[in-house]
Structure 1
Amino acid sequence: MRSGHGAVVPATKRCRPLSFRPEERLRKRSEFLRVKSEGRRLSCGAFVLNVAPNRLLHHRLGLVIQKRYWKAVTRNRIKRRLREWFRHAKHTLPLPNLDIVVIARPGAETVTPARMADLFRECLKKGGLRMA
């Protein structure tokens, strides 16, 4: 891809502030367990948030959507909505940078994206973490 002055800019180096980059994801079991053991547990209606500070320069998100509650289509819809919330909210989340594990409970499939954002904002506020 070319920038305005003819220099070639690699596609991976472009700045996309609302993207959900690979380094912003919790992937390993050990990371999820660390957040559970070291972090705070906050109940948010149909969701539970486990929140722990990390020593990185960015927030990270992990999702737990159990198979026993929903079929694949519904699980994927819930995950897409949670990722979308994180993409838009990560710049307003409080410092220090956090690892957030969201656990979906029955009823999560009916929560609208706008209501989800309000739930998480209220939940973090009750937990002593204020969003910007």
Structure 2
Amino acid sequence: MDYSFPKADRILRRSEFLRLSRSGKKLHSRYFIANILPGKSDRTRLGITVTKKVGNAVTRNRLKRLSREFFRLNRQNITGNRDISIIVKKQAAALSTDHFFEHLENIFGKISGGGY
């Protein structure tokens, strides 16, 4: 199993984030909002948004790094090709790494099993 996270697996352009927020199905939890659409490429891609309201740069980068790491290690559990945008809410900054992964696992479980 390849556990890398190349640029081809990332959503980087603002226009793609806007497309996901306008047209995608939304999943809400206490700590995350996920926007999901069927992917245009042959792989599942991830985009992460953490606004300045969440905390300083160190906090925001930690949350992005944890989100990427979770996706990198659990990407094989997502069936089909989807574009997924994860928006991290302010309350997530207080979570430990284990709790952060646990809540992300709930979101990705809904994406995999919920027909998104």
Structure 2 length as normaliser, TM-score? 0.85
Residue aligned with 1:102, SS: strand
Secondary structure of the structure 1 residue equivalent to 2:90 = coil
**Are positions 1:102 and 2:67 aligned together?**
no
Match of 2:51 in 1: 66
Partner of 1:130: 113
Q: Percent identity, please.
A: 32
Structure 1 counterpart of 2:45, one-letter code: R
Q: Secondary structure of 2:113's partner? A: coil
2: CA distance, partners of 1:88 / 1:24:
13
Query: Higher RCO, 1 or 2 (CA under 8 Å, sep at least 6)?
Result: 2
Match of 1:27 in 2: 12
1:49 corresponds to which of 17, 34, 38: 34
Unmatched segments (≥5 aa) in structure 2: none
User: Which residue of 2 is the match for residue 87 of structure 1?
Assistant: 72
**Is the alpha carbon distance of 1:125 and 1:88 closer, same or farther for their aligned partners in structure 2, counting shifts above 3 Å?**
closer
Q: In structure 2, what is the Cα distance between the partners aligned to 1:101 and 1:51?
A: 7
| CA spacing shift, 1:119–1:30, aligned 2, 3 Å | same
Larger Rg: 1
2:60 & 2:14 partners in 1: Cα distance? 20
Q: 1:116 to 1:53 in 2, by over 3 A?
A: farther
Conservation of the 8 A alpha-carbon contact between 1:42 and 1:48: yes
Q: Does 1:120 align with 2:104?
A: yes
Q: How many residues align?
A: 114
CA root-mean-square deviation: 2.0
How many Å separate the matches in 1 of 2:76 and 2:105? 13
Residues 18 and 88, structure 1, Cα contact 8 Å, conserved in 2: yes
The separation in 2 between residues aligned to 1:86 and 1:124, in whole angstroms, is 9
User: In the alignment, is the contact (CA less than 8 A) between 1:48 and 1:103 conserved in 2?
Assistant: yes
- 2:24 alignment partner in structure 1: 39
